[in-house]
Amino acid sequence: MNHPTEGKEALTAAQLELLAGVSYLLRSPLQKQDAHSGVSTSLVMVHDLLERGVDVERVVQLVQASQAP
């Protein structure tokens, strides 16, 4: 039986840091006020930026900016 991650790249430390940042943002007070808007958009944006090779810190900044009032 194949391991679920067999043949796939392992997550890098930078990607793990980014996921931690996104988790923080999704639990932010702004998200708690309107829990459904922005969540999907943020995750899609993060995925697209990671795929393009954008620096992790820059991705977090962009997500934070998109969540600003």
Q: Is residue 43 part of a domain?
A: yes
User: pTM score, two decimals?
Assistant: 0.43
Q: What are the Cα distances from residue 69, in Å, to 4, 15, 31, 33?
A: 39, 26, 11, 12
25-65: pLDDT as tens digits: 666 665 555 555 566 667 777 777 888 888 888 877 777 77
Q: Is residue 46 part of a domain?
A: yes
Residue whose pair of structure tokens reads 């923080």 in the numeric block: 24
Per-residue confidence at 1, pLDDT binned at 50, 70, 90?
very low
Q: Is residue 5 part of a domain?
A: no
Half-sphere exposure of 12 (CA within 13 A, CB side): 8
Length of the chain: 69
Under 8 Å CB-to-CB from 19, ≥6 apart: which residues?
11
Q: Is residue 22 part of a domain?
A: no
**How many independent structural domains does the chain possess?**
1
Q: Is residue 50 part of a domain?
A: yes
CA–CA separation, 20 and 14 (whole Å)? 10
Query: By residue range, what is the domain housing residue 51?
Result: 38-68
